[in-house]
Amino acid sequence: MRTVARLALVAIVISGLIGGATNLPSRTAQGQTTIGEADLAIWRVKVSSPAEVSRLTSGGWDVLEGRGDDYLLVMGDSATARELEAQGFTVSVDQLLPSERPDGLFSYYGGYRTVVEHYQHLDALAAAYPDLVSVVDYGDSWRKLQNAASGYDLKAICITYKRAGDCAQNPATDKPRFVLMAAIHARELSTSEQAWRWMDFLVSRYGVDADITALLDHNEMWIIPVVNPDGREIVESGPTTPYTQRKNANTSLGSCSNPPTGSSQYGIDLNRNADFQWGGAGTSTSPCSLVYRGTSGASEPENYYLQNFLSSLFPDQRGPALSDAAPQTTTGTFITLHSYSNLVLLPWGWVECNSSACPPSQQSPNDAGLRSLAFRMSYFNGYNTGQPSEILYAASGGTDDWAYGVLGVASFTFEVGPGSGTCSGFMPAYTCQDSTFWPKNRDALIYAAKSARQPYTLSLGPSTITPTLSLTTTVVGTPITVTAPINDGTYGAIGINRPASQAIAAAEYYLDTPPWAGGAALPMAAQDGTFNSTSEVVSAQIDTTGLSVGRHTVFVRGRDDAGNWGPTTASWITVVADPSSYVYMPLIIN
């Protein structure tokens, strides 16, 4: 969803009201700064009512995901500021954006990867991990449809421990699916980098980490690293600074700036083009606008093929009416990565609420499960959590609304990166990927993946922290104690309508066969003697008598006093033969 700055690696914060002059002076701590007519800036636009928010977000300007108590942010040049003032908005400068990148802070080949490199990475993973990885081509980009020699295939990767029939584009599967997609907005470079790390993490931890191994044994992870490859190629073509292309590369409509600018560019905003609630809030009918919605829902091949692809992975699990809830047995989770502002957004995104908290009539029919899962994920990344209209602004035609509205899949948007300061912007210092973004979001993605089996129920239950074992390797017949913290308070701290924590009521473990596969539940006890708190440490003794020699998986889960079981968390024990049972034979040398 993000519609922000050309480059936010270095931003000079300035203040002052906009006048009508060609050059708009303002003062910084270093002295006098002048905004040239072609310079890009982030403008602070005051909004005093929901009607003004709607007028601004639907006016065709490049409205960003940053939001203050009484203002929204818009990117553009001096002409943009004058247009806003002419429409009655009060405008001031928030940040001036440099026209060229500082040397050494950005390099596609030394840092951010090109589309070609992302696609090479998919093929390299498939070659290195043939038992885990499959690459699929699910369609063609706009440029490729115009000329087969240009443009790109649209590619995704499936990661699971493969059995016959796994990773098929068929919704009839017993393995729940988690889909992570990135770069539907071309200029949001961090998103593809986080998808890259998620793929590498999964394949590198299989057979090493019990929880990830169990995840890939029983689930499919699907990743689309670059949804909008044509647009990303335009971004890459900037001679000194990557271009701020947000949309796809469709040049058939309008007469727009080329090369693209922060206020005019060819293409369609793919995150306003999905054909669920298309054409509503936060969109424009002007072809050069950065939020141009296109001529119809899913008019663009990138969206047409994406929707077909998602429909091939997930069954239709929700009725046609807006009030129809997906059943509690619904499977599948979906996250689309954007940047920036540190947000976890849940459906509905298209509704315009008239208060900070949307009333039930403007919430989705699965709001309890969606909101609980969103806050479970923000427990790990610390992001602000809510519906777009609650913590940002409404936007229709988005992919997450489509995936939930049409298929019933639990769907979310992550806005990766802070709204200001270090690591903010579309193209932050590359070091932010590993120093900040990946550590914050890794466990949130793991939780989303583990919840895919039944997201609307599992997210209501407590979280199980990694179990510990008194022995990780033991002789057959020797008991092992398994201990695990169970916590129902693992909800993010910032957001709208944070769910209430429940007391823990029970815990259990399974040996080798998890609960969904018919495993036998073995009870665990609260170490303090009573289940009466939202956080309990539980334990049980595992009898290894009769276990086969080798590695065994222990699955642990907890239940709250409302009857909700949370996701399982896995650990390993290794059983070895009793040396006393060995039969020693004399060695006779002839």
Contact between 356 and 363 under an 8 Å Cβ cutoff? The reply is no
Which band of pLDDT confidence, cut at 50, 70 and 90, is reported for residue 585? Answer: low
User: What does DSSP assign to residue 266?
Assistant: S
The region of weakest confidence among 28-42, 44-58, 166-180, 362-376 is 28-42
If asked whether residues 391 and 500 sit together in one domain, one would say: no
Which band of pLDDT confidence, cut at 50, 70 and 90, is reported for residue 118? Answer: very high
CATH number (domain holding residue 508): 2.60.40.650
* Cα–Cα nearest to 230, from 246, 217, 218, 216: 246
- What pLDDT does residue 81 have? 85
Reported for 581-584, long-range contacts at CB under 8 A and 24+ positions apart, including other chains, are none
If asked whether residues 143 and 217 sit together in one domain, one would say: yes
User: Is residue 262 assigned to a domain?
Assistant: no
Reported for 291-298, long-range contacts at CB under 8 A and 24+ positions apart, including other chains, are 291/3, 291/57, 291/60, 291/62, 291/63, 291/395, 292/60, 292/247, 292/253, 292/254, 292/267, 292/268, 293/268, 293/269, 293/397, 294/268, 294/269, 295/253, 297/273, 297/397, 298/273, 298/274
User: Is residue 380 assigned to a domain?
Assistant: yes
207 pLDDT more than 90: yes
What is the rounded average pLDDT of the residues 437-456? 98
What is the rounded average pLDDT of the residues 429-445? 96
- What pLDDT does residue 465 have? 92
Which band of pLDDT confidence, cut at 50, 70 and 90, is reported for residue 478? Answer: very high
- Name the token pair of 227: 């949804």
d(CA 157, CA 198): 11
Which band of pLDDT confidence, cut at 50, 70 and 90, is reported for residue 312? Answer: very high
User: Is residue 4 assigned to a domain?
Assistant: no
Which band of pLDDT confidence, cut at 50, 70 and 90, is reported for residue 586? Answer: low
d(CA 484, CA 210): 15
- What pLDDT does residue 27 have? 29
Contact between 324 and 318 under an 8 Å Cβ cutoff? The reply is yes
CATH number (domain holding residue 329): 3.40.630.10
Contact between 409 and 317 under an 8 Å Cβ cutoff? The reply is yes
- Name the token pair of 580: 């006393």
Q: What is the CA 56 to chain-centroid distance, rounded?
A: 26
Structural domain ending residue among the three candidates 61, 96, 131: 96
Number of domains in the chain: 3
- What pLDDT does residue 32 have? 38
Per the listing, tokens 């990780």 go with: 472
If asked whether residues 452 and 473 sit together in one domain, one would say: no
d(CA 12, CA 479): 63
- What pLDDT does residue 234 have? 96
The region of weakest confidence among 89-93, 320-324, 373-377, 577-581 is 577-581
Which band of pLDDT confidence, cut at 50, 70 and 90, is reported for residue 305? Answer: very high
If asked whether residues 202 and 159 sit together in one domain, one would say: yes
**DSSP H/E element including 26:** strand 24-28
Contact between 454 and 317 under an 8 Å Cβ cutoff? The reply is no
> 3-state class of 217 per DSSP?
helix
Tell me how far CA of residue 109 lies from CA of 106, 114, 297, 430, 446, in angstroms: 9, 8, 36, 11, 29
If asked whether residues 190 and 320 sit together in one domain, one would say: yes
- Name the token pair of 419: 């709204």
Chain-wide mean pLDDT for the chain?
A: 89
- Name the token pair of 562: 């409302």
Per residue in 212-232, pLDDT (tens digit) is 999 999 999 999 999 999 999
Per residue in 142-200, pLDDT (tens digit) is 999 999 999 999 999 999 999 999 999 999 999 999 999 999 999 999 999 999 999 99
What is the rounded average pLDDT of the residues 324-348? 97
If asked whether residues 159 and 226 sit together in one domain, one would say: yes
- What pLDDT does residue 590 have? 58
What is the extent of the structural domain holding 51?
12-96
- What pLDDT does residue 400 have? 98
If asked whether residues 42 and 63 sit together in one domain, one would say: yes
What is the rounded average pLDDT of the residues 344-361? 92
User: Is residue 280 assigned to a domain?
Assistant: no
The region of weakest confidence among 33-47, 380-394, 432-446, 522-536 is 33-47
If asked whether residues 480 and 412 sit together in one domain, one would say: no
If asked whether residues 386 and 477 sit together in one domain, one would say: no
Contact between 454 and 216 under an 8 Å Cβ cutoff? The reply is no
13 pLDDT more than 90: no
**What burial letters (b/e) apply to 144-162, b meaning 16+ CB within 10 Å?**
bebeeeebbebbbbbbbbb
If asked whether residues 356 and 503 sit together in one domain, one would say: no
Contact between 76 and 289 under an 8 Å Cβ cutoff? The reply is no
- What pLDDT does residue 239 have? 84
Structural domain ending residue among the three candidates 413, 430, 458: 458
- The reported pTM is 0.88
User: Is residue 268 assigned to a domain?
Assistant: no
Strands 31-35 and 535-542: unpaired
Structural domain ending residue among the three candidates 437, 458, 479: 458
- Name the token pair of 485: 């913290």
If asked whether residues 445 and 470 sit together in one domain, one would say: no
d(CA 158, CA 313): 11
99 pLDDT more than 70: no
User: Is residue 107 assigned to a domain?
Assistant: no
If asked whether residues 395 and 494 sit together in one domain, one would say: no
Strands 153-159 and 31-35: unpaired
- What pLDDT does residue 88 have? 87
**What burial letters (b/e) apply to 218-233, b meaning 16+ CB within 10 Å?**
bbbbbbbbbbbbbbbb
- What pLDDT does residue 34 have? 57
> 3-state class of 343 per DSSP?
strand
User: Is residue 277 assigned to a domain?
Assistant: no
Q: Please return the burial class of 382, using the count of CB atoms within 10 Å of its CB with bins 0-12, 13-18 and 19+.
A: middle
User: Is residue 213 assigned to a domain?
Assistant: yes
> 3-state class of 414 per DSSP?
strand
